[in-house]
Amino acid sequence: GAVVSQHPSRVICKSGTSVKIECRSLDFQATTMFWYRQFPKQSLMLMATSNEGSKATYEQGVEKDKFLINHASLTLSTLTVTSAHPEDSSFYICSARGTRGASDYGYTFGSGTRLTVV
Amino acid sequence: AQTVTQSQPEMSVQEAETVTLSCTYDTSESDYYLFWYKQPPSRQMILVIRQEAYKQQNATENRFSVNFQKAAKSFSLKISDSQLGDAAMYFCAYRRGTGNQFYFGTGTSLTVIP
């Protein structure tokens, strides 16, 4: 089956620094990847959608310059939180949609990253 | 705009009993998909069941089944023979047939009582 690996699972960083989160599709090509943010006891909110080799499409209210998304290959997308502040502390989850041969792997979620900014 | 509403923030069920989680949605589309995802304490989102809007037959996956009422825009999840491992946050989600974006409800926290 389709597996999406997200790394790191937890990260603590100092305010003002940048943090990179990786999302990899392990056994399929992810033509489209999605980044979600989840606050405690709340639902997942889509931040941005990225297609391989093109610029990400951000949802309204999401700062492009703060949340940099790169989808340079069919198996890897990264989210960089730049100049992180405590209010950026949250749970970030990626999701990938892709195919392997003729199989549609649909949408698979990564295991998430808990970011804490101190 | 598409919205998904889960009116039960918390539910509990006795082990081996049956529980139903409610979900309603709002859309003007005719082609769409509905999902139930489970998020255990590990926070991994796990697909429980999926329903295509064009199918009248309710989807079932072992102990999990849905009651899809298209006219009422209702999509409830029934868990039979509840097990301790079913304890988790459950999210109802909607996706347009031609779209990629998921719209999630606010979730229902399910507790299974031994």
Task: Show pLDDT as tens, one digit a residue, over chain B (114 residues).
Answer: 668 999 999 999 999 999 999 999 999 999 999 999 999 988 888 999 999 999 989 999 999 999 999 999 999 999 999 999 999 999 999 998 887 788 999 999 999 999
Quick one: pLDDT at residue A112? 94
Chain-chain contact of A91 with B44 (C-beta, under 8 angstroms): no
Chain A residues in contact with B44 by the CB 8 A cut-off are 109, 111-112
- Whole-angstrom Cα distance, residue B25 to residue A75? 33
Closest Cα in chain A to B38: A109
Q: How many CA atoms lie within 13 A of B8 on its CB side?
A: 19
Mutate to test the interface with A, among B39, B100, B103 (most CBs of A within 10 A): B100
Chain-chain contact of B45 with A109 (C-beta, under 8 angstroms): yes
Those residues of chain A that have pLDDT short of 50 are none
Closest Cα in chain A to B37: A109
Pick from B46, B105, B109: which is nearest to A43 by CB? Answer: B105
- Whole-angstrom Cα distance, residue B38 to residue B112? 14
Closest Cα in chain A to B40: A111
pLDDT tens sequence across A33-48: 999 999 887 889 999 9
b/e per residue A53-72 (b: at least 16 CB within 10 A): eeebebeeebeeeebbbebe
Quick one: pLDDT at residue B42? 84
Quick one: pLDDT at residue B23? 98
Chain-chain contact of A49 with B44 (C-beta, under 8 angstroms): no
Quick one: pLDDT at residue A53? 81
Write out the residues of chain A at the interface with chain B, using a CB-CB cutoff of 8 A: 32, 34, 38, 41-46, 49, 91, 93, 95, 97, 107, 109, 111-112, 114
User: What's the gap in Å between the CA of A112 and the closest CA on chain B?
Assistant: 7
Quick one: pLDDT at residue A99? 64
Q: Take residue B104 and report the two structure tokens written for it.
A: 């999630």
Quick one: pLDDT at residue A97? 86
Question: What letter would DSSP give residue B59?
Answer: P
Please report where in the chains the tokens 């389709």 appear, as a residue: A2
- Whole-angstrom Cα distance, residue A80 to residue B24? 35
Quick one: pLDDT at residue A1? 67
Strand order, beta sheet including A19-25: A4-7, A19-25, A76-81, A67-73
Quick one: pLDDT at residue A103? 57
Quick one: pLDDT at residue A105? 57
Closest Cα in chain B to A44: B104
Chain B residues in contact with A38 by the CB 8 A cut-off are 43
